[in-house]
Structure 1
Amino acid sequence: MLFSRPNEAQLQRVNQTNLVFFLQEFTSGPNATVVPVIGITGKTWSFVTFGTIFAIDDAITQTPDRSSARVGRAQGVLVASALDGSNVSVTISIVFNNVDYSGSTLELQGTIHQNERYREVSVVSGTGRFRFVRGYAILETIYYERATSYTIIRCTIELIYN
């Protein structure tokens, strides 16, 4: 197998796209969008308990307003993956249903440090309009309401593709 460096023309064909949208997340109540599905027997299932696995299905909106236009869903799995409860491993599909990207997905993967305001994960692939993309996503908690366990997360994604 031969490997070659891209020539100047190939390098100039790289395109970049930035996306910003908002995850609407509920971690308790009858409309919870993040729920624990399994954990270690005898231990409390929580975001800081090693081995707890969560399913996620958050609405994605255009603006932080809960009633703003929906553009898709963030669906996947979160795993409390650090013994000390500091990290969560993330595997999430961003499933778009808006006019521009309907049927397309972005695949996010990585480990996030729970107590940081800005959390970064990799964009490892995509489908439809995002086939063969790569990049990264910054997840930033911009609002949290303890009483209802409601969180708004700004998701800023930078994509590179040919």
Structure 2
Amino acid sequence: MGKVVGPVLKLFFVVLFMSSSVHSSSNIEEKRESDHRFQKLLCSKQKLTRLHFYFHDIVSGQAQTTVMVVSPAKTVKPSPTWFGQVNMFDNPLTKGPELTSKLLGHAQGLYGYASQVDISLLVAMTFIITNGRHDGSSFTVLGRNTVTDSTRELPIVGGTGKFRLARGFATAKTYFFNDTVAIVEYNIVVIHY
């Protein structure tokens, strides 16, 4: 039995060594290609893009685009600011304020009611453009949105496609609000490569 185990172990270690060296050379090639693309991107000229659209946050009804995924904790006195509630959404972005206006993309993400003092949201969302010259590209916003302020500013923290290495800001202004829907006008200023 000992005569068989020795050669089998040698063969096992040879195969293991060969597969790890092939795997590691494959990783090295992928890393080189990734580094090359990144260097090429950094050597290209930065672009500034301005976008404008309307965000439709529909919280009830047949066309609902937002759902509550975490309800506020049960307390003796309910919070007037909905503190602790978290909603997930997939909201249409349109050219005009009407929902029937031309669809430009979607905003997907979540917002949580993060303040015990005022109605402020912690927002994490990605704007996905599905129309026009930026079709298939996206950028991500992460920040505080005090919805009772007339204009809010949120930072852009990254992007994909034509918005790689994106940074900039989004200003939000409530266009219309009732128990069913909030329509928010967004002006975007994004720097990208």
- TM-score normalised according to structure 1 size: 0.82
SS at 2:162 equivalent: helix
Structure 1 residue 14, shift from structure 2 partner: 3.8
RMSD of equivalent CA atoms: 2.3
- Is there any run of 5+ residues in structure 2 with no aligned partner, and where? 1-41
Which one has more relative contact order, counting CA pairs under 8 Å at least 6 apart? 1
SS at 2:134 equivalent: coil
- Structure number with the higher helix fraction is 2
Structure 1 residue 90, shift from structure 2 partner: 0.3
Q: Tell which structure's C-alpha radius of gyration is larger.
A: 2
- Structure number with the higher strand fraction is 1
Structure 1 residue 46, shift from structure 2 partner: 8.4
Deviations 1:20-65 (A, max 9, x none): 0111221222322222111234259989221111001110111222
Partners of 1:87 and 1:161 in 2: CA distance: 29
Deviations 1:100-157 (A, max 9, x none): 222211101100112112111001010001001100000111122x2x6222211100
- TM-score normalised according to structure 2 size: 0.70
Q: 1:34 to 1:85 in 2, by over 3 A?
A: farther
Q: 1:47 to 1:53 in 2, by over 3 A?
A: farther
Candidates 142, 147, 157, aligned match of 1:109: 142
Give the match for residue 151 of structure 1: 182
Identity of aligned residues (%): 26
Does the CA-based 8 Å contact 1:56-1:74 persist in structure 2?
yes
User: Mapping of 1:1-162 within 5 angstroms?
Assistant: 13-42=45-74, 48-144=81-177, 146=178, 149-162=180-193
Give the match for residue 3 of structure 1: none
